[in-house]
Amino acid sequence: MTFESNFINHSKEYIFLDNDALFKNREKKYNKIIQKDYDKKNNESLKNITISDISNFDYFYKPKKDVSKISLVDDLNYEIEIINGICKNYEDDNIEIRNLTSLDFKTFLNQDNNNFDDIIIDFNKIFLNSGIFFNIKSKAKLNIHLIHSTSDNFTIFQNNFINFKKRCEVKLEDNFNLTNNSINNINYNINVEEGATIKHNIFQNFANSNKLYLTSNTVCEKNSSYSQNTYNFSDGFVRNFHHVNLNGEFSNASLKGCFFLKDKNICSNKTNIKHNAENCISDQTYKGILNDHSKASYYSNTLVSENAQKTEGYQLSKGILLTDNCSFFSKPELRIFADDVKCSHGSTIGPVDESALYYLRSRGISKNKAMKMIISSFIEEDLQNLDKNIAERVSKNLSDYLTNLEND
């Protein structure tokens, strides 16, 4: 179905019809796309993807309410199901969770900071059909597991808001378990208040008929810490765009990613960290392994404002190409307007190191087994600082990915 047809059909059942601000913004974004008002040459969001890839789909969203559940493993561990964009409303002394209504979006609209010139974000605003508010209360120490699942052929356009209150310590895990032919365009607005420490792990693992466009915009206040690790083991199309504003002094952010691609899989990644205060630290590191005809891209950007003295900012991307037909495009970028900084960037992409391969083979190790050893060490050097269960999960997916290299 064409973009225009989807827009007309969606207008008849738009769930926020009584919200004038949302509706006007929706029409504005629609006209922008119709007029093709995007800089295709310089728009990094369109690497390995075309506007027609994004806009041609069959819009379908008819969720059932009250089918999801929240499980409390104990007082500190929450397992929360999000089925077709909807979760169960819940509140206790540590956490508040509720599905957003049109009235809520009137309040939250001004907190949506994802105003980049980005067609994926614009599509989210045009076809918005769900949203969830998470409020993690002060000083809470929690483990939260979010399980995203969809029915066949569903199209989810979701705008979520997460507020981590002062001095809370949270391990947040997003698991995307998608079914056939679903499209998921999910936008996170995250606020990390003073003294809060957040570790956010994202697991993307689903079949090749699905598409996931995941965007996040995080604001870190004074003495806060936000660490995000994105793991893509899926066979489908994935676009990750993660942005952080370091607004408070002595705040820090880490955006890291790892992906294993094969067949004709595509994974587009973009991270962006803006230093707006003194004495802040950022780290952006993405690694990937590509096989067959797969494609990946990674854009990293660090912007250091004039008043953000004593900044440290680091960028690194590495990729291993297992065939001549796969490709990995990387573009690190530093924009520095302060003079007292420590910043660096680097990118290394290529085939398996021939000298290392020769060394192992000269000791009687088969070619495929030697390649497996080299690739494993390439990934596992970054697993040492992860929680044990996370490291084991990544190692298991890596082992599964490399199985076809063992049969020599």
pLDDT for 341 beyond 80: yes
292: left (phi over 0), alpha (psi -120 to 50) or beta: left
What's the confidence (pLDDT) of residue 282? 98
Q: Over pLDDT 70: what percentage of the chain? A: 90
Q: Which residues pair with 348 in a beta bridge?
A: 318
Q: Lowest-pLDDT range, 47-51, 93-97, 362-366?
A: 47-51
Rounded to whole angstroms, what are the CA distances from 144 to 162, 276, 385?
12, 29, 20
Which residue is associated with the tokens 């802040």? Answer: 280
Q: Lowest-pLDDT range, 103-112, 117-126, 326-335?
A: 103-112
pLDDT for 383 beyond 70: yes
pLDDT per residue as tens digits for the range 293-339: 999 999 999 999 999 999 999 999 999 999 999 999 999 999 999 99
Q: How confident is the model at residue 112 (pLDDT cuts 50, 70, 90)?
A: low
Which residue is associated with the tokens 């690739």? Answer: 375
Q: Which residues pair with 174 in a beta bridge?
A: 146, 202
pLDDT per residue as tens digits for the range 343-356: 999 999 999 999 99
What's the confidence (pLDDT) of residue 38? 61
Contacts of 248 (CB under 8 A, 6+ apart): 194, 220, 221, 222, 223, 224, 277
What's the confidence (pLDDT) of residue 122? 86
pLDDT per residue as tens digits for the range 143-198: 999 999 998 889 999 999 999 999 999 999 999 988 778 999 999 999 999 999 99
What's the confidence (pLDDT) of residue 73? 79
Higher pLDDT, 119 or 174: 174
pLDDT for 115 beyond 80: no
What's the confidence (pLDDT) of residue 408? 43
State mean pLDDT over 226-246. Answer: 94
Higher pLDDT, 114 or 225: 225
pLDDT for 270 beyond 60: yes
Rounded to whole angstroms, what are the CA distances from 312 to 88, 137, 153, 222, 306?
41, 30, 45, 16, 14
